[in-house]
Structure 1
Amino acid sequence: MRSDSTPSATGPRDARLFGGSEGDLSGNPFRADRDRIVASPFFARLGGVTQVISPGGSGLLVHNRLTHSLKVASVARGIVERLCSPTTGSQSLLDKLGGCDADVVEAAALAHDLGHPPFGHLGERVLDRLARQRLGLPDGFEGNAQSYRIVTSTEISGSTVGLDLTAAVRAAMAKYPWTRRTYPSPHVHLMQPTPRGAGVDPEDPAAGSVKFGAYVTELADLRQARVPFDGLLAQWQQTAEASVMDTADDIAYAIHDLEDFHRVGVLQQGTVATELMAWQRDATELRGLDLAALRHTTRRPGRSVELLRRDICRKDGWISDDDAFWSAVEHVRHELVDGLLAAPFDGSVEAEQSVARFSARWTRRLIDAIHVRADPPMRSGHVALGVAQWHEVQVLKFVHHRFVLERPDLALHQRGQARLLGALVEALHAWLVDPAEAVRLPRRLHDLVEMAHAEVRDLTAADYGLADGDFDPTAMARGRAIVDFVAALTDGQAVGLLDALSGRSRQLWTDAFVL
């Protein structure tokens, strides 16, 4: 945990600053935060972590978690600079919400994916299941909570535990400022409607919220980071800076992943056009179909778009608008199908210029549509896209999901990656509980166990919402250490470590992983 457990400052802005380490290159504490994040080995490892396709061995120029984080930071800074310009008239409202500083937002954006495990979102889901069902961790695993844990607990910066970031940056990292089950009370997953991300997995509702920003072990730090915002924001509401970072993440994801799969030839004009135009042609007929019939015929063009429209209406009634949805489909069809995808990517200067123009045009369009609201709906942050552009982002993300994430060849690799992570966790657990091997444990794993023991020792079953009989601190410390260890690997390190643990590798001294 951080050493500065209480803010010593007197004013609201000063309270956002507490923290700071010797040796910072910048006198601006928020820029110093950014420098410490960029200097962290956890940041460097993101170059070897999946965004959508694993960067190791793909042979393709695709985004990884590092390049994605850099682009989120760029978009986020652009949003703040626009909102804080005199022409928007947003500065006064932002000040009332606790402030919106470009350096804070940039630092939070650079740090927001530090906790992503090997193999991206697939790895996140698998590690969560293993953590809860195999390792007995009530908190399971969540990438945002892991990022927060890294900057406050498991990273080392000089003589401090964690990166000793300012309160403002730590609060800005919290897209979901709650724990999985117990904070705040009543918990967000019991609200109607729930804040975005706070819903439960229908197959395991007792597990708590699917998305959350901190484990119980970091809850005290999260609450401390948000002290400067007491009385300004609800306990579950993002800070304005977190809202900017969250929106920038959505924009970068919606645009830049489409670039990747146009470049590698996965996104084909014909298939995308057929899907979008079929919905436009048959929209009236499709609205008359019952939900079961739609789901049974999703392979037929237009059906998946209609399911998207209905999902938006069901989940996001606060912003859903059928006219805006129609216009979004039309705009995406014009810009993507008739524009970017009209000519296959061939690596030429002209093709690269087409991609660059598409990205710049969409980024500017979306940033220009962002506004600040004093009293946003439950499922929105204070900083949000306009209605038209929000629908456009949903359609862009749909194209990515429908024509990339649902591909059988991607599923083939992901099923193998899921098995790899399961085998790796089992192998590390067996090593950790083997008394004959205690002195030969990897030093990093040993230190993580010691750290987790110290954290859990100060907690109780009630902190996790458990009965006393379900609280096993020793098992939980081991489990959290294994999760911390695995989550800090790159894709390639995870593969190399399992090869060694399973006896498939004959190479003793290797840089594939560091023990």
Structure 2
Amino acid sequence: MQQEHADPRTQRRSGGNAVQADLATNPYRVDRDRVASSPFFARLGGVTQVVSSTGSGLLVHNRLTHSLKVAQAARAIAERLNARPDLANLLDKLGGCDPDVVEAASLAHDLGHPPFGHLGEQVLDRLARHRFGLSDGFEGNAQSFRIVTTTDVRGPAAVGLDLTVAVRAAMLKYPWTRLSYPRPHPKDMAAPPRGAAEPTDAPGTGSSKFSAYVTELDDVVQSRTFYTGRLEPWQQTVEASVMDTADDIAYAIHDLEDFHRVGVLQHATVSAELNTWLDNAVELAGLSAADLAAQERQPGRSLETLRRRLHAKDSWAVDDGAFAHAVAKVRSELVDGLLAVRFDGSVEAEQAVAGFSARWTRRLVDAVAVIEEPTTRSGHVVLAVPQWHEVQVLKFVHRRFVLLRPDLALHQRGQARLLTALVEALEQWVTDRHEANRLPRRLHDLVELAGAEYAVIARTDPSMLVGATGETPTGPDAVRALARGRAVVDFIASLTDNQAAALLDALSGRTGQLWTDAFVL
């Protein structure tokens, strides 16, 4: 294999080069191939994006198809930026923007998403913190980073995928841990970066979003060393910012496609919301906060609430004129265009969906720019003002008319109970000393791995292990308890939706089938 050159961005934690099994010679293509070959990547085909495709009768996006579309958009953005001579010096100054890096990071960015999408993430975080006392709980981005650096055993040394500095850094959408790194922590800034602030309903719990657990802190530090002096400790790399922007673009478009296909996104309700706001924007702007909240179920009020929230959180970018134009643009393209004709599976219907997706993707990808000194609420890669507002409105339509539906909530409450029961069942198994020698090998190995990690932290910086109880774990029993908790969470997070359901059926005695391909022990 060709030797990697001395570029510090190509360094791997092992210090080695590509190995004989790698097909590519470019180190970033090697990383892309390692991610794409990972079983953690393959499992994303069975992990919910918003709703499971099972029973829908139609194809809806899962985490795998979402990741592929993010990678497609991210690479297109990177290529456009590199084609601009006026940006060459700035991109070099900020640390680089390689299309292969952003593609690899985009393919890897959702590896850690657990069964049942964001709902599963919330359930596992609550259980990790309160049941197991894990200080940094569970977070999908941090789990993705843990997989590529630690728990994926298909790499050259059976510990992570041994990716380059550039790709690992590009995965750090939120380059901090929940509570302890960097110091001072970005959650304590006057205007915290997006995701760094603590949840308003859970003060003292740390950042709501973060990209690494304390167990992977050494990998964070090593992957960010090259960017010291180029970026603030809490800033994304340019390549991470490209991936983040592409993720937003993909979300804004393909989730609307899905719910138009399955008949959930209704023309009448979306039209009423957007048209009412456009026709009554001045009157709605004059409502008091109390009156607006009291009228929240009436058309137009939710959109006005969004406008006010953007002013409160993103005053650096929001513009009322651009917001109104964005609402009108979405009404024209989505309401009067795509939703005006019911999706019936015909050639015409498929062409309408494809045209909507292609137009919007091109419009948003073409509107990306790079700024040298962004606000703390933004990365270096930004959308132009009109398109930024359009993304906010598109995401609003998805949230208001899909995510807040009672029937979806009913489905998700059942999934939450399933995951909770599965955590309890596996915890009982992993703590049963009479069954220790029959524990699934993968779960056993994860307990051993986490035990070694937490033992080191307990010796070197035990304050990083302080959990929801406020007590510092001391002694080998406390460390083993943390290790068992992290191992159970790691194990469940690596399952597909169907594997999680099948495993709980087996553990609860609801199936008489001894061997099944729905899960592997």
TM-score grouping bracket, smaller chain normalisation:
over 0.9
Measured against aligned partners, the alpha-carbon deviations of 1:43-76 in whole angstroms (never above 9, x if no partner) come to 0000000001113444331000000000000000
Map 1:75-474 onto structure 2 (within 5 A). Answer: 75-86=73-84, 89-156=86-153, 157-460=155-458, 461-464=462-465, 469-471=472-474, 472-474=478-480
Which whole-Å CA distance do the structure 1 matches of 2:116 and 2:471 have between them? Answer: 35
2:267–2:340 contact (8 Å) kept in structure 1: yes
**The residue matched to 2:280 in structure 1 has which SS?**
helix
2:196–2:208 contact (8 Å) kept in structure 1: yes
Shift of 1:271: 1.0
**Counterpart for residue 5 of structure 1:** none
Which whole-Å CA distance do the structure 2 matches of 1:355 and 1:386 have between them? Answer: 25
**What percentage of residue pairs aligned between the two structures are identical?**
66
**The residue matched to 2:162 in structure 1 has which SS?**
coil
Shift of 1:473: 1.4
Which whole-Å CA distance do the structure 1 matches of 2:325 and 2:292 have between them? Answer: 22
RMSD over equivalenced CA pairs, Å: 1.6
Shift of 1:373: 0.5
**The residue matched to 2:89 in structure 1 has which SS?**
helix
Which whole-Å CA distance do the structure 2 matches of 1:226 and 1:193 have between them? Answer: 22
Which whole-Å CA distance do the structure 1 matches of 2:376 and 2:157 have between them? Answer: 41
Shift of 1:12: 4.5
Which whole-Å CA distance do the structure 1 matches of 2:166 and 2:436 have between them? Answer: 41
Moved more, 55-64 or 355-364: 55-64
Query: Given residue 480 of structure 1, which amino acid in structure 2 is its aligned partner?
Result: R
Measured against aligned partners, the alpha-carbon deviations of 1:405-451 in whole angstroms (never above 9, x if no partner) come to 11111111100000000000001001111111111111111000000
2:465–2:472 contact (8 Å) kept in structure 1: no
**Counterpart for residue 494 of structure 1:** 500
2:47–2:496 contact (8 Å) kept in structure 1: yes
1:76–1:248 contact (8 Å) kept in structure 2: yes
Which whole-Å CA distance do the structure 1 matches of 2:150 and 2:201 have between them? Answer: 31
1:49–1:117 contact (8 Å) kept in structure 2: yes
1:48–1:56 contact (8 Å) kept in structure 2: no
Distance change in 2, residues 1:207/1:233 (3 Å)? same
Which whole-Å CA distance do the structure 1 matches of 2:516 and 2:197 have between them? Answer: 43
Which whole-Å CA distance do the structure 1 matches of 2:55 and 2:435 have between them? Answer: 33
Query: Given residue 456 of structure 2, which amino acid in structure 1 is its aligned partner?
Result: D
2:473–2:479 contact (8 Å) kept in structure 1: no
**The residue matched to 1:160 in structure 2 has which SS?**
coil
Q: How many residues align?
A: 507
**Counterpart for residue 513 of structure 1:** 519
Query: Given residue 495 of structure 1, which amino acid in structure 2 is its aligned partner?
Result: A
2:466–2:473 contact (8 Å) kept in structure 1: no
Which whole-Å CA distance do the structure 2 matches of 1:16 and 1:484 have between them? Answer: 24
Which whole-Å CA distance do the structure 2 matches of 1:396 and 1:415 have between them? Answer: 26
Shift of 1:292: 2.5
Shift of 1:19: 5.1
Shift of 1:367: 1.1
Which whole-Å CA distance do the structure 2 matches of 1:19 and 1:455 have between them? Answer: 23
Distance change in 2, residues 1:62/1:243 (3 Å)? same
Moved more, 285-294 or 250-259: 285-294
Which whole-Å CA distance do the structure 2 matches of 1:120 and 1:458 have between them? Answer: 32
Which whole-Å CA distance do the structure 2 matches of 1:207 and 1:281 have between them? Answer: 42
Query: Given residue 63 of structure 1, which amino acid in structure 2 is its aligned partner?
Result: H
Shift of 1:470: 4.1
**The residue matched to 1:241 in structure 2 has which SS?**
helix
Measured against aligned partners, the alpha-carbon deviations of 1:346-388 in whole angstroms (never above 9, x if no partner) come to 1111111111111111111111111000100010000110111
2:48–2:62 contact (8 Å) kept in structure 1: yes
Measured against aligned partners, the alpha-carbon deviations of 1:293-335 in whole angstroms (never above 9, x if no partner) come to 2222211000000000011011111111111111110110111
Distance change in 2, residues 1:104/1:16 (3 Å)? farther
Which whole-Å CA distance do the structure 2 matches of 1:46 and 1:13 have between them? Answer: 28
Q: Provide TM-score, normalisation by structure 2.
A: 0.95
**The residue matched to 2:216 in structure 1 has which SS?**
helix
Distance change in 2, residues 1:36/1:219 (3 Å)? same
1:240–1:381 contact (8 Å) kept in structure 2: yes
Moved more, 114-123 or 158-167: 158-167
